[in-house]
């Protein structure tokens, strides 16, 4: 059984490498520096007196509906639907002279993806906004968190403009999907390779 499994994995890895779009990770325009730690990626950008950090994790970032379409009995030459990774991402804005970090929790609404309705529609939304003490990795539940569901639209628009002024706009969000999808695929191939060596290990 293990032999067949290893052979299957070998073929699968070959296939996945064939359809791999990016041999190296795509760049995000606008002077963002990328750091990757396993499945977590961080983009950092410094502008006058501020540091902007965008963090996302590729785990569970592929919407479930895409996976159901792949039929078991599919012929190898049929094009599988392209899986796209749309992770939630967290934007942190740190001003040099304050002890607080503004944290904006953003996500891609599932129904919005791929429906080009209005020209001006944003491809991501802000879900929550809070202040966190700068430099602390554990966020406190005791800090007030603003949920945007019941938010005044004018305030919400200003928050979106605030992000856009710092380079987090639709273009960025599109490039983040590209990057995340490439990263997810790279990690998947690596996982298959690890699984293969694990299965072969006597």
Residue 178 lies in a domain: yes
Provide the pLDDT for residue 24: 86
Provide the pLDDT for residue 119: 46
**CA 170 to CA 160: how far, in whole Å?**
10
What is the tally of structural domains in the chain? Answer: 1
Q: Which two tokens stand for residue 131?
A: 């202040």
Contact between residue 16 and residue 162 where contact means Cβ atoms under 8 Å apart: no
User: Which residue, 15, 45, 80, is CA-closest to 176?
Assistant: 45
Residue 90 lies in a domain: yes
Q: What is the pLDDT along the chain (202 residues), one digit of tens a residue?
A: 889 999 999 999 999 999 888 788 899 999 999 999 999 999 999 998 999 999 999 999 988 764 444 444 444 444 456 789 999 999 999 998 888 899 999 999 876 544 444 445 789 999 999 998 887 666 667 788 989 988 899 999 999 999 999 999 999 999 999 999 999 999 999 999 999 999 987 6
What is the domain extent for residue 94? Answer: 1-59+83-200
Residue 21 lies in a domain: yes
Could you give the count of Cα atoms lying within 13 Å of 123 in the half-sphere of its Cβ? 18
| Residues 158, 115, 66: CA angle, nearest 5 degrees | 115
Beta strands at 50-57 and 33-37: parallel, antiparallel or unpaired? unpaired
User: Which residue, 102, 103, 101, 100, is CA-closest to 88?
Assistant: 103
Residue with tokens 């605030």: 162
Residue 135 lies in a domain: yes
Provide the pLDDT for residue 200: 85
Q: Which domain CATH number covers 149? A: 3.10.280.10
**CA 72 to CA 92: how far, in whole Å?**
42
Burial of 89 by CB count in 10 Å (0-12 exposed, 13-18 middle, 19+ buried)? Answer: buried
Provide the pLDDT for residue 41: 97
Residue 78 lies in a domain: no
Residue 17 lies in a domain: yes
Residue 77 lies in a domain: no
Residue 39 lies in a domain: yes
**CA 7 to CA 18: how far, in whole Å?**
17
């Amino acid at each position: 059984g293990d032999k067949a499994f290893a052979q299957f994995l070998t073929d699968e890895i070959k296939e996945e490498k064939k359809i791999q779009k990016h041999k190296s990770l795509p760049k995000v325009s606008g002077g963002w520096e990328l750091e990757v730690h396993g499945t977590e990626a961080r983009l950092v950008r410094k502008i006058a007196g501020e540091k902007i950090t965008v963090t996302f994790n590729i785990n569970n970032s592929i919407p479930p509906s895409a996976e159901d379409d792949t039929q078991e009995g599919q012929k190898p030459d049929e094009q599988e639907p392209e899986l796209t990774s749309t992770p939630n991402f967290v934007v942190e804005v740190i001003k040099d002279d304050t002890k607080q970090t503004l944290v904006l929790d953003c996500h891609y609404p599932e129904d919005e993806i791929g429906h080009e309705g209005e020209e001006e529609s944003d491809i991501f939304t802000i879900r929550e906004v809070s202040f966190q003490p700068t430099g602390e990795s554990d966020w406190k539940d005791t800090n007030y968190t603003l949920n945007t569901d019941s938010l005044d639209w004018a305030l919400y628009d200003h928050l979106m403009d605030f992000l856009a002024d710092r380079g987090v706009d639709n273009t960025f969000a599109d490039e983040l999907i590209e990057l995340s999808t490439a990263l997810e695929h790279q990690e998947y191939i690596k996982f298959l390779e690890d699984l293969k060596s694990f299965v072969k290990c006597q």
